[in-house]
Amino acid sequence: EPEVTQTPSHQVTQMGQEVILRCVPISNHLYFYWYRQILGQKVEFLVSFYNNEISEKSEIFDDQFSVERPDGSNFTLKIRSTKLEDSAMYFCASSEERGYTGELFFGEGSRLTVL
Amino acid sequence: AQKVTQAQTEISVVEKEDVTLDCVYETRDTTYYLFWYKQPPSGELVFLIRRNSFDEQNEISGRYSWNFQKSTSSFNFTITASQVVDSAVYFCALRMNTGFQKLVFGTGTRLLVSP
């Protein structure tokens, strides 16, 4: 069964460092998303991406964050200068369509720890 | 604004007990979708069910059942004859008919099933 894959599964970094989280969405999917879950809290929407541009973003997704689809398969989330509060589990998701039939498939998450 | 409330932060049951997880949502839209996801200790988000606002039929899938009541804006989830493997955090989520599949999650209910 096709799945969304994320790397790394866990990354530890120092405050102020740049981090790139990578995702390989399901191959025929067109819509891509990043969500974040701070430990023990709810899952929060960060950004959606379609047709090589951001379609929607939340207040969390400030100038420190960027997303990119550098080639036909990867979808990345970059945090330019990490802060302690960026420590969280980051989930990538993709969907084939936008409407009701466009079910969201989540990856297993990348845990980011900022020291 | 859209909001999902899961008032139960943690529920503990003994194996074979039935348990109901509550979910109350708020939205002004007439068309929307409701979801339940399971997050086991390994951290991934596992899709359980999707229900649209026009379909108030209750659904049963094995030991799982869902009770959708528009009149009370609730979408409750019942596990019958719970098992230890059901131990996880369960999230209820809401999505509008418009937009790019942005899910609004509740804060989750941690279910602990002991032998």
Cα separation, A13 vs A20, in Å, equals: 11
Give tens-digit pLDDT for A46-93: 999 988 999 889 999 999 999 999 887 899 999 999 999 999 999 999
Q: What are A69-76's contacts with CB under 8 Å, separation 24+?
A: A69/A32, A73/A24, A73/A25, A73/A27, A74/A22, A74/A23, A74/A24, A75/A22, A75/A23, A75/A24, A75/A25, A75/A32, A75/A49, A76/A20, A76/A21, A76/A22, A76/A23
Give tens-digit pLDDT for A6-18: 999 999 999 999 9
Give tens-digit pLDDT for B38-71: 999 888 898 898 888 888 888 888 999 999 999 9
Residue A97 — very low, low, confident or very high, per pLDDT cuts 50/70/90? low
Quote the minimal CA–CA distance from A73 to chain B in Å.
20
Closest by Cα among B36, B17, B29 to B90: B36
B71 at A interface, C-beta within 8 A? no
pLDDT at B83 over 80: yes
Question: Which structure tokens are listed for B64?
Answer: 């799982």
CB contact under 8 Å between B43 and A89, yes or no, is yes
Residue B85 — very low, low, confident or very high, per pLDDT cuts 50/70/90? very high
Size of interface A-B (CB pairs under 8 A): 57
Question: Which structure tokens are listed for A47?
Answer: 């950004």
Please give the mean pLDDT across all residues of chain B: 91
Quote the minimal CA–CA distance from B33 to chain A in Å.
8
Cα separation, A28 vs A97, in Å, equals: 10
Give tens-digit pLDDT for A33-47: 999 999 888 899 999
3-state secondary structure of A54: strand
Question: Which structure tokens are listed for B23?
Answer: 């979910």
B6, amino acid identity: Q
